Amino acid sequence: MFRPHPNISDAWILSKSGELEPPVTVVLAALHGNERCGVAAIESVRREPSPFVERQLEGSVVFVHGNPRATEQRRRYTQGGTDINRLFSYGYVESLAREAWTYEHQRALELRPLITGADALLDIHSASQPTPPFVICDGSQQAVRLGGATGFKVTYGWDGPGMLMDQVSIGSLVSQGKPALSVECGQHEAPSTMAYAHTVLDSFLVAIGALAGDLPPTEPEVYRLFARVVKPTHDFVLARDFASFERLDAGQSLGSGPGLNIVIEREAYLLLPTPSAERGEDIVYLAERVS
């Protein structure tokens, strides 16, 4: 059966009985409202659920439109709101007065039992700059294998100091040793991004054992982050218009500003270069290839 979730808005349950049968797999889309590829993938399930109902194995899959109001506003988060993908450690429930809560605080709380109680989680994103699709995971054998099964490149090491793993959607499952992946499907509105979101939704559900199906054999490319680069000054600019997974050799310039030139000390693959970053924000991440 496929039906709307009884307690959570903009969420739908796929299960044999229509109830929330364990194990529960959650597919999250558009926690960042303007990242619509995952919503498009969920909409295609909603339009034509029978191929999914027929392939269903055990448990339930809950499909969730993470931040529908921000999607309506075509924004990352709602006007006057905040990044919901920094709220999943739920510290604000104790530390922030209710009057100060935004829509995202309310929505994160509405999703709390579902997300913290899930047995597996896929969180679908897209990026502002062009990028090949890739998986973000915790680097456990289980997660790397699952990430590789999607056919995407696999990255880990995002849980270092300042990397916010405890605050993002997958953090709760990662801390419980449960399988959880976040995926970047490409640049926001690119047709290939939409296609990759469909693909990864299906391949993840097959790989986790929620749906019957075959996965093509893959030799995943795996990368480990070893540094995050914070934009040091207002005038700092990247050396050129980098794409994700572009490789720099030791000695090449990453970027420069007045009186400042950042040179790469060792071979590095660039992840999520963000030319629009403000001073103090992450402008790029550096990774090494491990397999």
100-159 residues in contact with Zn ion (CB under 5 A) are 125
- Name which of 10 and 35 has its Cβ closer to Zn ion: 35
CB of 98 vs Zn ion, minimal distance in Å:
26
CB of 48 vs Zn ion, minimal distance in Å:
26
Please give the structure tokens belonging to residue 278. 């403000």
CB of 122 vs Zn ion, minimal distance in Å:
13
CB of 253 vs Zn ion, minimal distance in Å:
28
- 231: contact with Zn ion by CB under 5 A: no
User: Identity (one letter) of the amino acid at 39?
Assistant: V
Instruction: Return the sign of the alpha-carbon dihedral for residues 147, 162, 35, 272.
Output: negative
CB of 75 vs Zn ion, minimal distance in Å:
12
113 Cβ neighbours under 8 A, 6+ residues apart: none
Total residues contacting Zn ion (rule CB under 5 A)?
3
Longest dimension (CA), the chain: 65
- Name which of 36 and 231 has its Cβ closer to Zn ion: 36
CB of 158 vs Zn ion, minimal distance in Å:
13
Closest CA to 108 of 168, 181, 194, 197: 168
- Name which of 32 and 153 has its Cβ closer to Zn ion: 32
Choices 15-23, 28-36, 51-59, 225-233 (CB under 5 A): range interacting with Zn ion: 28-36
Which member of 2, 11, 12, 32 binds Zn ion (CB under 5 A)? 32
SS (H, E, C) 65-131: ECCHHHHHCCCCCCCCCCCHHHCCCCCHHHHCCHHHCCHHHHHHHHHHHHHHHCCEEEEEEEECCCC
Helix axes 191-208, 141-149, angle to 10 degrees: 130
- Name which of 35 and 119 has its Cβ closer to Zn ion: 35
CB of 9 vs Zn ion, minimal distance in Å:
20
Pairing of strands 253-257, 237-238: antiparallel
Choices 34-42, 61-69, 205-213, 241-249 (CB under 5 A): range interacting with Zn ion: 34-42
- Name which of 201 and 264 has its Cβ closer to Zn ion: 201
- Name which of 107 and 125 has its Cβ closer to Zn ion: 125
Other C-beta atoms within 10 Å of 227: how many? 15
Using CA atoms, how far apart are residues 42 and 21, in angstroms rounded to an integer? Answer: 20
Instruction: Name the site residues for Zn ion (rule: CB under 5 A).
Output: 32, 35, 125
